[in-house]
């Protein structure tokens, strides 16, 4: 497994709304690659945990074989946890856990990306991205102003009808 840069996939999260067809085509392959990287990170974390256990066991047996050390079980645990080899192994395990968690977050982000792409495609099909579509608060205000002007014209037309002489029906 090739260790690919996390930043590469973080950049791939960006969606170019003008290239939705390309984005939709590359989504499954990119998601699969992120899943592979997450699995690889989990494997590295598991290997680091195993190595930490081996280091702990080695230090434990060294401490028990050393006749100068009179350690009780709590004292042995304290001795192991202060040992530089164990500290290095534990730190490495923590780094691998963080990396695996980051890849999991990225995997979930790509899962969300697929839903966003679906929604963007629906917006595109409905004409949302056309040039005369309403965009932002300024355009919304312009549409609201046009509606208000139309309502005023309609009210004026109704007022004219109410003041115009009407014919009475003959009964």
75 — pLDDT class (breaks 50, 70, 90): confident
Report how far residue 50's alpha carbon sits from residue 80's, in angstroms, rounded to the nearest whole number.
Answer: 16
User: What is the per-residue pLDDT across 109-124, written as a single tens digit (0 to 9) for each?
Assistant: 999 999 999 999 888 8
> Who contacts 92 (Cβ-Cβ below 8 Å, separation ≥6)?
48, 51, 52
List the domain boundaries for the chain: 6-132
User: What is the per-residue pLDDT across 14-23, written as a single tens digit (0 to 9) for each?
Assistant: 998 888 889 9
């Amino acid at each position: 497994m090739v260790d690919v840069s996390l930043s590469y996939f973080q950049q791939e999260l960006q969606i170019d709304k003008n290239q939705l067809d390309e984005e939709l085509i590359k989504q499954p392959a990119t998601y699969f690659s992120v899943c592979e990287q997450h699995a690889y990170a989990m494997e590295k974390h598991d290997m680091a945990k195993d190595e930490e256990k081996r280091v702990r066991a080695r230090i434990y047996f060294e401490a028990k074989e050393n006749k100068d050390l009179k350690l009780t079980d709590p004292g042995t645990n304290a001795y192991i946890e202060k040992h530089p080899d164990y500290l290095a192994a534990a730190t490495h395990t923590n780094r691998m856990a963080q990396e695996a968690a980051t890849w999991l977050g990225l995997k979930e982000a790509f899962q969300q990306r697929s839903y966003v792409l679906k929604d963007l495609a629906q917006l595109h099909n409905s004409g949302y991205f056309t040039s005369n579509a309403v965009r932002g608060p300024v355009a919304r205000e312009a549409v609201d102003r046009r509606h208000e002007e139309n309502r005023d014209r309609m009210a004026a037309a109704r007022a004219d009808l109410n003041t115009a002489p009407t014919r009475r029906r003959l009964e």
